[in-house]
Amino acid sequence: MKKALWLIVFVFIPSVAFSYLVRVNNESIEAEDFKEVFTRSHVYAQMGQKNKPGVLTEKSLEEALKNLIDHHLLAQEAKRLNLDQEPDYLQGLDYYKRYLATRAFWQEEFKKINIPDEEIEKYFQEKNTRWRVRQIFTKERNKAEKALRQLKNGETFAKVAQELSEGPYAAKGGDLGFMRKGQMVEEWETAAFSLKPGNFGDIVETHTGFHIIKLEEIKSPNMEALERQKPGVKKNLLKNKQKTVEKKWKNKLRADAEININGDLLKEINENIGDIETNEKVIAQVNGEPIYLKDFLPLFKRKLAGYSAMKERWHIKIDSDKVKNEVVDILINQKVIEHEALKRKYFKKNRDIKKQLDNYKRTLLVKTFKGKIVAPQISLSEKELENYYKKNEKDYLGPAQYDLRLIEVKSKKTAEGIRDELLAGADFPLLAREKSIAASARKGGKTGWVSERFLPEKIKKEVERLKPGEITPVIEKDIHYVIVQLKEKKQGQLIPFTEVEEIVKKTLWSKKFDDFLNKYLEKLRKISKIKFNKKAFKAVEGEFGIK
């Protein structure tokens, strides 16, 4: 262990005296908590780094533990500064507590669901039974009534469908083929699947128009397939039962709750509403707790956007009052469930949930500290921005331009043979004309000037290393192989300050922010009491396979 890494004096004490890995002032970091954090952060660090698996080292563990200690120090400092009383912090913590409690509530209720095998078999049979159906469809009731009269007078269903039905299936005599339950709207299916094969029913009205339905035949599923599909069937059945449980609880809790809806305010809201100043107004109350307009508007706008897309596709009319009521219902349901979940005191009864809440408190405290304490200290003058731009001009160059030649072939072996010939002195343009399958072959492989922005990453990486006249190794490109020769390179031009000012501002602001934060942390480390359990750390190293 390199003590210099920590910038503090560690006190090494036998692990038998401690149940922690590190003690930061009055808080303990347990080995299990650190392992969880390190594993998660290490996995995230490797995401996007294809074929570059991260190597676990003592240094990487030390760095992760140092970061976790810093995290605790900042959270403690935020609390010392009473930032845990800030409205933003309290609101964020309240939202997360409700989220955790609600999740625990549903987990507890869903565990009670039992699905016996006979129920799985019944569900499988019902879901996989197929009905062959014909229909006569029209948007006019008079036309539907005429069709029904003709059918009752003995005309064949197929003939009447060809004459009077609307839509693409009319030409097929209304034959929709085989279908399963769940493909059509509820009122359509109720009518269709109550028929006996060979019979047709009365007129059925749906939101799209009027239907007369005939059931041709029923095909039952092969029950031998159930054993193979049982896990998936059980999963689907579980989802359905969970929805039933959710509905039951929402109805029960709503019936017991005191709910008041601000109908006048609801009437004022329309489809063109923006981010109005009155978003602190109360649109409803549940057991005395308000639901604000600011909570209602985002969901209302998302719902409207979804219905607008349906309107364009299906030409249906949007009932904005219906949408408003849907949104209010969703928010009221959310409140009644939150109230019930919070009553169950999961944060006292469940250690894991309490730990999740404690971890989130620290994260939120650190975020609040950075926003309330560090960020206001950062200021940028125009002169600072311009000086930073001048010192780092290389970071603000436009893309480099490359004049290239290219040979593309189908096999790696062929490509390697061509490259050997080129290294032996063969003429690149000649080989390109003879052997390349690229469009540039007739030009001797010449691609012309190409911006680095438009080069595939693999080619760009190799071309950047070349001097004029040199060639790349064989590069795999999709299913082919290429060899590229650099003829000439033009460095990117410096982009004017006015065009990159915002980028410079963000970069310099982040740098000054990090500098200030690191200096603050350095002071916190010096005044803090940090006890480190060396044996516990060695044990963690061993668990990760670090010697």
Query: Is 541 contained in some domain?
Result: no
Same structural domain, 402 and 479 = yes
In contact, 138 and 203? CB cutoff 8 Å = no
Q: Assign 8 a pLDDT band (cuts: 50, 70, 90).
A: very low
Q: What is the pLDDT averaged over residues 298-310?
A: 80
Same structural domain, 441 and 505 = no
Task: Report the pLDDT value the prediction gives residue 309, as an integer from 0 to 100.
Answer: 65
Ramachandran category for residue 261: left, alpha or beta (phi over 0 → left; psi -120 to 50 → alpha): beta
Query: Is 443 contained in some domain?
Result: yes
- CATH number of the domain encompassing residue 423: 3.10.50.40
* Residue corresponding to tokens 């038998």: 16
Same structural domain, 446 and 511 = no
Query: Is 260 contained in some domain?
Result: no
**56-62, long-range: CB < 8 A, 24+ apart:** 56/544, 56/545, 56/546, 57/546, 58/1, 58/541, 58/546, 61/537, 61/540, 61/541, 61/544, 61/546, 62/1, 62/2, 62/5
Q: Where are the alpha helices (DSSP H) in 436-491?
A: 457-463
Q: How does the average pLDDT of the chain come out, rounded? A: 90
Same structural domain, 198 and 148 = yes
Of 219, 237, 270, which one is at a domain's C-terminal end? 219
Same structural domain, 431 and 511 = no
Query: Is 215 contained in some domain?
Result: yes
Same structural domain, 387 and 412 = no
Of 219, 254, 289, which one is at a domain's C-terminal end? 219
The helix (run of H) or strand (run of E) holding residue 235 is helix 226-256
What percentage of the chain has pLDDT greater than the value 70?
A: 91
3-state SS string over 318-382? CCHHHHHHHHHHHHHHHHHHHHHHHHCCHHHHCHHHHHHHHHHHHHHHHHHHHHHHHHHHCCCCH
Quote the number of domains for the chain: 3
Q: What is the pLDDT averaged over residues 410-421?
A: 96
Q: Which two tokens stand for residue 69?
A: 């200690």
Q: What is the pLDDT averaged over residues 389-412?
A: 95
Of 219, 251, 269, which one is at a domain's C-terminal end? 219
List the domain range (segments joined by +) for residue 524: 382-393+496-528
pTM for the model stands at 0.72
* Residue corresponding to tokens 């922690």: 20
Tens of pLDDT, residues 499-526: 999 999 999 999 999 999 999 999 999 9
Same structural domain, 408 and 483 = yes
Task: Report the pLDDT value the prediction gives residue 516, as an integer from 0 to 100.
Answer: 98
Same structural domain, 521 and 462 = no
Same structural domain, 460 and 520 = no
SS3 272: coil
Query: Is 43 contained in some domain?
Result: no
More confident residue, 421 or 311: 421
Highest mean pLDDT among 36-40, 121-125, 300-304, 406-410: 406-410
Q: What is the pLDDT averaged over residues 363-371?
A: 98
More confident residue, 542 or 76: 76
Same structural domain, 150 and 206 = yes
> What is the rounded distance in angstroms from the CA atom of residue 345 to the CA atom of residue 364?
22
Query: Is 478 contained in some domain?
Result: yes
CA angle 200, 201, 202 (to 5 degrees): 140
Query: Is 276 contained in some domain?
Result: no
Same structural domain, 430 and 512 = no
CA angle 262, 265, 271 (to 5 degrees): 130
Task: Report the pLDDT value the prediction gives residue 51, as an integer from 0 to 100.
Answer: 46
Tens of pLDDT, residues 440-499: 999 999 999 999 999 999 999 999 999 999 999 999 998 999 999 999 999 899 999 999
Same structural domain, 404 and 515 = no
In this structure, what DSSP letter does residue 496 have? P
> What is the rounded distance in angstroms from the CA atom of residue 104 to the CA atom of residue 297?
27
CA angle 143, 145, 150 (to 5 degrees): 95
Find the distance separating the first CA and the last CA of the chain, reported in whole Å.
Answer: 12
Query: Is 534 contained in some domain?
Result: no
Residue 52 reports pLDDT greater than 60:
no
